[in-house]
Structure 1
Amino acid sequence: MMRGSCHCGGVVYEVEPPLRDVVACHCTQCRKVSGHYWAASSVPVTKFRLVESGTLRWFESSDAARRGFCEDCGAALFWEPKPGHWPGDGGPTMHFAPGSLDGPTGLKIAAHIYKEDAGDYYSPEGPPPAPSKAMELHGACLCGANDYSVPGPMGEAGACHCGQCRKISGHYSVSFAVDEGAVTWNRRHDREYPTAAGGRRGHCPDCGSSLWFRDAEGGFWMEAGAFDNPTGGRLTDHIFLAEAGDYYHIDDGLPQWRIRETDGG
């Protein structure tokens, strides 16, 4: 058996190999929930078991599926298709974030889907495109309980592969620096999760979407995947590759750092 969990430990699960190789999904739903784009492996539901589920919450994201997340830390964990929408041979399956697994996975990314819905600040495969033009950025969580805007353009956005970002996003996160006072909240219903280094993370307690991060010194970053195109942003680098998942490699030619001198988490 292989074990996985959210960041705070409120949700723990086990899956029995073999696991399906990973599919990376760039659809709008997955981008909003994870803060960048989501990735998932899967097993038949008979090979899946919840060990701890005290903080597990489900969101009905469509007529075809529901999404499971930790209501305390906001970790994006599961995607479960409903009867009549089972993929492949028609049997019930549980899809889970490989970034939430503990230890080596032995998996690889087999496909990228919904690439046409990707954020304009990165490319699903290869180098990011040239930045678009954007005077104002609009973002929202998946359920719409949080709706906000910030002055554009997004500018430089950084990818973080640390264990915390991996567990919470389910893959890895991309965010950009924002003056917190410049954020206009049209609707706000977020929940804060404290981190070990004195930072705080914000997510929607209803749908689980990742929204923002504030470090101990007051620096503020917003999750890039929650924003509509065009963003005027461009992915610039990758940090904490020493803690990255073993099932993917970076192919965009951008600078990579195994660690960073100051851990903002």
Structure 2
Amino acid sequence: MVRGQCFCGAVSFEIEGALSAPSLCHCGQCRRLHGAPGAYTSAPVSAYRISGEESLNWYATSKRAEQAFCRICGSKLFWREIGGQDLDACMGSLDAPTGLTLGRHIFTRSQGDYYEIGHDGVPRFAASSAGAEPIGEEMPPQSGPKKTEHSGGCQCGAVGYRVSGSMRDVVVCHCGQCQRIHGYAPGYSAAREAELIIEGEENLAWYRTSDRARRGFCRSCGSSLFWNPDDRDTVSITAGSLQPPTGLKTVLHIMVADKRDYYTIADGVPQVPGSSAANPITF
């Protein structure tokens, strides 16, 4: 029996039976929705018992598939083919330890330009792994030079933003809160609040994840967009929601003491067990 839930606890579930080896999807859609690559395992629909379904919001990601997120806290939870027999669950929503091992990277030729996958020995597929042969390691897309103008937004287009100024390089957070909400360890850049303009704010839902910070996500598609601490003049922005080329690179992994058991960090970027407070990343 495997159990899981969203961050706020409004939606919880149990899965009875074997789960598939997780896939890590690097497509642009997953990165916009999750603010991170999409990490999913799968089981038959009949194996699930879901509580709190009234708090689920299903968003059609294409004509054949849809994704579910908690309408209260924005946690990414499920993906399914419409009319299919299986239901995929986000790895970050599962209670730890999962006892699983990452089985494949998919859509690697669509990966973000701000990170590298690294030498983790996991098979890679250029697109879907269904009926395909794995490929070798390839150079990631180039992020280009630093920029002073940036834009981005959610998957459905209801929320957009513009930054008139430089943005901080990317920090990947492996804490349990981020895993629950994003479904996988997210990469965050940051902008000065005075240089950030948000368009479609009426479509932006804010959820207070602690007594010192809140997170913003699109009400319609669930895309994770912002982390906004109370005591700073900056707003953290998911790198996956940025329009490429980003001009950014991943420079630090934080909270790695909380990293989930099914994946390894293999990109050679510095890691710290806790926060970056002792060595903050500057603009």
Q: TM-score, normalised by structure 1?
A: 0.91
Amino acid at match of 1:73: C
- 1:105 and 2:120 aligned: no
Alpha-carbon distance in structure 2 between the residues aligned to 1:261 and 1:27: 28
Encode CA deviations 1:169-210: one digit per residue, 9 max, x unaligned. 001111012112211234332011012242010001111100
Among 225, 239, 248, which residue is 1:224 paired with?
239
Alpha-carbon distance in structure 2 between the residues aligned to 1:194 and 1:155: 23
The answer for the alignment partner of 1:132 in structure 2 is: 144
SS in 2 for 1:46: helix
Amino acid at match of 2:46: T
The answer for the alignment partner of 1:120 in structure 2 is: 113
Alpha-carbon distance in structure 2 between the residues aligned to 1:62 and 1:128: 26
Alpha-carbon distance in structure 2 between the residues aligned to 1:226 and 1:215: 19
Q: TM-score, normalised by structure 2?
A: 0.85
- 1:181 and 2:174 aligned: no
Alpha-carbon distance in structure 2 between the residues aligned to 1:118 and 1:248: 17
SS in 1 for 2:69: strand
- 1:37 and 2:37 aligned: yes
Cα offset, 1:256, TM superposition: 1.1
Counterparts of residues 207-246 of structure 1 (less than 5 Å)? 207-218=221-232, 219-246=234-261
The answer for the alignment partner of 1:255 in structure 2 is: 270
Encode CA deviations 1:5-48: one digit per residue, 9 max, x unaligned. 01000110111231101100111110011112111000011111
Alpha-carbon distance in structure 2 between the residues aligned to 1:158 and 1:216: 19
Identity %: 38
The answer for the alignment partner of 2:122 in structure 1 is: none
Cα offset, 1:152, TM superposition: 5.7
Structure 2 unmatched ranges of 5 or more: 120-138, 279-283
For the 8 Å contact 1:129–1:234, the answer to whether it is kept is no
Cα offset, 1:120, TM superposition: 0.5
The answer for the alignment partner of 1:89 in structure 2 is: none
Alpha-carbon distance in structure 2 between the residues aligned to 1:201 and 1:262: 20
Alpha-carbon distance in structure 2 between the residues aligned to 1:97 and 1:50: 14
For the 8 Å contact 1:238–1:257, the answer to whether it is kept is yes
For the 8 Å contact 1:128–1:252, the answer to whether it is kept is no
The answer for the alignment partner of 2:129 in structure 1 is: none
Alpha-carbon distance in structure 1 between the residues aligned to 2:70 and 2:39: 17
**Structure 1 residues 154, 129: CA separation in 2 closer, same or farther (over 3 Å shift)?**
farther
Runs of 4+ in 1 over 6 A off after TM superposition: 127-130
Alpha-carbon distance in structure 2 between the residues aligned to 1:261 and 1:252: 18
SS in 2 for 1:167: helix
Cα offset, 1:244, TM superposition: 1.4
Encode CA deviations 1:90-128: one digit per residue, 9 max, x unaligned. xx1000111111121111111111112211101233497
Encode CA deviations 1:73-92: one digit per residue, 9 max, x unaligned. 11111101113xx5xxxxx1
Aligned length: 257
The answer for the alignment partner of 1:190 in structure 2 is: 204
RMSD: 2.0
For the 8 Å contact 2:111–2:141, the answer to whether it is kept is no
SS in 2 for 1:109: coil
